């Protein structure tokens, strides 16, 4: 389901006004995850067997292991741009922290501004300033023990002005994705964008100089037609080829070893075969995800049940493949024309995430902004619904997130 995005001007305004979270979040549980009682093929000794990168850093290996184990007992709650996108532009702590007293367990970021054609790397450049804000946020999140995930709203290769297919000509839509294939007209351009991604991820380090693990979710929601990499504009084999090239280039050519790779369609599928129609292969995917707004868009319990059925497909595939399952994007945007839905968080969403033995490692809400919110602030009428949701047995914010970067002893 296509979600609503801010226009560039509004994004710029929000980011210019915003500031990073101003206070530290005190965690009550910083120990490693203990093994669940049930038998599991995944062990500390064989974890890299199931990972894309056999040479992943120790912290990245631990993140894979702990996310997989955690999904059996609870899920992390996150938000896109949590430290820099606020309802009513009220900056400071994340809106989740304003409402619950704790930061999210996962931070969503985007390479969009970082790989923008106008980012010249100079201190006075607005896009470079956003790069610094984003990378500083990632470092802050890691210092708190949070999980980091990046999406990539890559601008199309012709003019680099948009990622929406609706803004492109028929010819640009028909040729854009194909042109970045190996041997394509814009393949070198695509490699230059990956070089920038590699440079940023390869320099994300903590205060001790250790690389910070990130989940990377390229070319998401590819089963729709709103992005220029959508299913209407490339064949399954073409999509797989670009996805595989992305992974191989970052991992093998650029030598980046602190990434978990995520495959995340939208919610159009109803069978595992449909879900896997563009799946690049187990050797290229660590996180099997789904973005789903449509089933939660005022669809009541029936919508939540549909979402649960699709999450069951994701969860079962992750179990059989020994991968991590996630609801990589979701939310119901409250604004002037959309009133809060009673029980949306604590009833509909929580049921979708937990019923029928679904094992989901994390759920991520999209960003708040001046005109609306996905996560309520304290004054919102559905704030209590959200606090009830985060207090549920399987939900976790940063205060109850285990140590994700250390294997259990």
Active site residues: 221, 329
User: What CA–CA distances, in Å, run from 37 to 33, 40, 69, 72, 73?
Assistant: 12, 9, 11, 10, 11
How many contiguous H segments (helices) and E segments (strands) does the chain have? 11, 9
What are the angstrom distances between the C-alpha of 20 and each of 2, 90, 214, 355, 378?
29, 12, 19, 36, 19
**Residue 375 · residue 1 · CB < 8 Å:** no
Inter-helix orientation angle 8-17/126-143, to 10°: 60
d(CA 174, CA 168): 10
Strands in 295-407 per DSSP E: 324-330, 362-365, 395-396
Instruction: List CB contacts of 19: < 8 A, sequence separation 6 or more.
Output: 84, 91, 92
Alpha helices in 144-186 (DSSP H): 170-175
Judge contact between 398 and 25, C-beta under 8 A: yes
Reference 326, options 363, 369, 352, 371; nearest CA is 363
Cα separation of 388 and 100, whole Å? 10
Give whole-number Cα distances, 27 to 139, 272, 333, 399, 402, in Å.
Answer: 17, 38, 29, 4, 9
Percent helix, strand and coil across the chain, each to the nearest 5: 40, 15, 45
Q: In whole angstroms, what is the distance from residue 142 CA to residue 30 CA?
A: 13
């Amino acid at each position: 389901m296509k979600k609503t995005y801010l226009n560039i001007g509004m994004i710029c305004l929000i980011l210019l006004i915003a500031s990073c979270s101003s206070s530290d979040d005190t965690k009550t549980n910083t120990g490693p995850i203990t093994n669940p009682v049930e038998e599991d093929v995944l062990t500390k000794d064989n974890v890299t067997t199931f990972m894309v990168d056999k040479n992943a850093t120790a912290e990245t290996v631990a993140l894979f292991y702990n996310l997989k184990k955690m999904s059996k007992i609870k899920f992390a709650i996150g938000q896109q741009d949590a430290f820099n996108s606020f309802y009513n532009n009220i900056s400071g702590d994340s809106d989740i922290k304003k409402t619950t007293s704790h930061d999210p367990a996962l931070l969503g970021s985007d390479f969009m501004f970082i790989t923008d054609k106008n980012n010249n790397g100079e201190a006075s450049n607005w896009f470079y300033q956003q790069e610094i804000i984003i990378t500083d946020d990632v470092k802050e999140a890691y210092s708190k023990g949070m999980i980091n995930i990046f999406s990539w709203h890559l601008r199309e290769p012709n003019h680099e002005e948009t990622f929406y297919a609706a803004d492109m000509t028929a010819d640009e839509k028909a040729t854009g994705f194909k042109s970045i294939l190996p041997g394509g007209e814009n393949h070198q351009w695509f490699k230059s964008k990956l070089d920038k991604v590699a440079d940023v991820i390869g320099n994300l380090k903590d205060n001790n100089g250790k690389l910070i693990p990130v989940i990377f979710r390229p070319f998401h929601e590819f089963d729709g037609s709103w992005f220029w990499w959508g299913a209407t504009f490339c064949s399954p084999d073409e999509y797989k080829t670009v996805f595989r090239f992305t992974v191989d280039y970052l991992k093998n050519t650029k030598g980046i070893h602190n990434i978990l790779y995520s495959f995340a369609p939208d919610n159009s599928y109803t069978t595992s075969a449909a879900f896997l129609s563009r799946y690049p292969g187990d050797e290229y995917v660590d996180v099997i995800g789904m973005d789903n707004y449509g089933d939660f868009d005022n669809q009541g319990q029936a919508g939540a049940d549909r979402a649960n059925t699709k999450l069951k497909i994701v969860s079962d595939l992750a179990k059989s493949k020994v991968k991590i399952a996630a609801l990589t994007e979701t939310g119901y945007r409250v604004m002037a024309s959309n009133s809060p839905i009673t029980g949306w968080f604590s009833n509909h969403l929580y049921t979708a995430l937990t019923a029928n033995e679904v094992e989901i490692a994390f759920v991520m809400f999209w960003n708040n902004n001046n005109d609306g919110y996905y996560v309520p602030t304290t004054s919102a009428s559905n704030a209590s619904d959200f606090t009830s949701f985060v207090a549920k047995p399987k939900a976790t914010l940063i205060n109850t997130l285990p140590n994700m970067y250390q294997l259990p002893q």
